Each structure stands twice: as structure tokens, then as C-alpha cells.
Chains A and B, each alone.
Chain A
Amino acid sequence: NAGVTQTPKFRILKIGQSMTLQCTQDMNHNYMYWYRQDPGMGLKLIYYSVGAGITDKGEVPNGYNVSRSTTEDFPLRLELAAPSQTSVYFCASSPNGRQDTEAFFGQGTRLTVV
């Protein structure tokens, strides 16, 4: 059972370049999330989705875009990469909107913008 799969694992971007971080899950979960993790800052929510075709902003959405055309996939798009976007990005999913339900995480994408 693959769970949540993120690609790539590592990437170096130049300032101003664009890229898409891929996330797919095979658990038929409705909820999906993108977080960024910076040292000593914990996890900050970028965007989330409660189902195919529905997305919403989280705490730190500026500089990012998402789409959710299928239940399985939730790609994160970076347009015009900036050094402030250097971070580790985690995709997560959960089956429903219940408060007692855990989130399942991918292994992360380490992005460096130079």
C-alpha cells in the first residue's frame, strides 16, 4: 500500500523558475493538504482540499497554486520561485473531515531556491 507519494524528493530551482510538486494518494481520501516545514517553525498549511474540484487557502498561500481534478492527485504549483520558498514540503491526506481522524503524510520534497 503506497499511501501518500510525493515527487520529487529533492529539487534545486533558480529564482524566477516555476515547478510543480506532485502528490498522489491511493487511499481514496477526500481531504488533502500541503504544508511547508521550516526549522523551528513547525508545519504551516499552504492549501487544502476537501474533495475533487474544491480547494481553499491555508495560512501561507502566497506564491503557490493548487488544483484538485481527481480524488487521488493534489499538485502544488510554484510560480516565480523565490528564496523564501526554500523549505521542506509535505503533502498529507485524511479520509474525512472528522476531528478525530489522523493525517497521513508523504515523505516530503526538499526544495532549495538559489
Chain B
Amino acid sequence: AQSVTQPDIHITVSEGASLELRCNYSYGATPYLFWYVQSPGQGLQLLLKYFSGDTLVQGIKGFEAEFKRSQSSFNLRKPSVHWSDAAEYFCAVGGSGGSYIPTFGRGTSLIVHP
């Protein structure tokens, strides 16, 4: 069965510092991977997705993620964090067996210090 692991529950960074949020997946075939962001009191919004091609994917709000098959990872990065990036971040893997039922990680809460 497919699964997603986000090992960090909370990450704290200073404004202007770089950011990396970790995501590891378990999937039998070529994975379809997503990062979503949830701002306080809001629903989830897609940041970026990967399903083929270039392993470095660019998303909205200056985020990028790199797919590494050898490490089963899809880590999210941003070179310089802004206070408005404080949110919950979810990694997800697309469904298998021809049916799109995504599986989400437990989320990583990003705290940004001024």
C-alpha cells in the first residue's frame, strides 16, 4: 500500500533563512507526488506536483521540490523564507490502481521567527 512519511512535526526557521521540509514515500510504481500548503483557517492549496520529467519541480510562492527515486524522497525547499510562509505543509502521493485516492502525510508545521 502507498504511504507518505513526513518525519518533522514542527520546523522553526528565521525569516530570510532557507527551508527544507522532508517527505518520504512508499509506492510500488512511478509515484505521483504533491505538496500542499494550508494557511491558518484555510483549506489546502496545491504548491507543486511531480509525475515525470525533470526531477526538480518549481511551484508557486517560490517553492521547489526535488524527486529522488533512490532515496524515495520528495523534499520541499525554499531559499529564503518569508513570515507569510508560516503554515502547515502536506506531502501527498497520488492514488494507485487507476483510481485517484490521494494519501497524505501527517503534515509539517512551519514556524517563522522574525
Seen from chain A, the residues whose Cβ lies within 8 Å of a Cβ on chain B are 4, 31, 33, 35, 40-43, 45, 48, 50, 58, 90, 92, 94, 96-103, 105-108
Cβ-defined contact, A107 with B104, below 8 A: no
Q: How far is B95's CA from A33's CA once the two chains are assembled, in angstroms?
A: 13
Interface contacts beyond A40-B9, A97-B100, A101-B94: sample of 7 additional A-B pairs, CB < 8 Å, sorted by A? A4-B43, A42-B6, A42-B104, A100-B49, A100-B51, A103-B102, A105-B36
Contacts A42-B107, A99-B94, A100-B32 known; A107 to B100 CB distance under 8 Å?
no
Q: List 19 A-B contacts (CB under 8 A).
A: A40-B9, A41-B106, A42-B90, A42-B104, A45-B101, A58-B101, A90-B43, A96-B100, A97-B95, A97-B99, A97-B100, A98-B100, A100-B51, A101-B100, A102-B34, A102-B49, A105-B36, A105-B44, A107-B41
B85 → A minimal CB distance (Å): 19
Q: How far is B59's CA from A102's CA once the two chains are assembled, in angstroms?
A: 13
| B82-99 with Cβ < 8 A to chain A | 90, 94-96, 98-99
Contacts A41-B106, A107-B42 known; A99 to B96 CB distance under 8 Å?
yes
Q: How far is B14's CA from A104's CA once the two chains are assembled, in angstroms?
A: 30
| B11-59 with Cβ < 8 A to chain A | 32, 34, 36, 41-46, 49, 51
Lowest 4 A-B CB distances belong to which pairs?
Answer: A105-B43, A42-B106, A99-B94, A43-B104
Sorting the interface of chain B by its residue count into under 10, 10 to 19, 20 to 34 or 35 or more gives 20 to 34
Residue in chain A with minimal CB distance to B34: A102
List the B side residues contacting A103 at CB < 8 Å: 44, 46, 102
List the B side residues contacting A101 at CB < 8 Å: 94, 100
Contacts A100-B32, A105-B45, A107-B41 known; A48 to B51 CB distance under 8 Å?
no
Cβ-defined contact, B105 with A94, below 8 A: no
Residue in chain B with minimal CB distance to A94: B100
Cβ-defined contact, B43 with A99, below 8 A: no
Residue in chain A with minimal CB distance to B49: A102
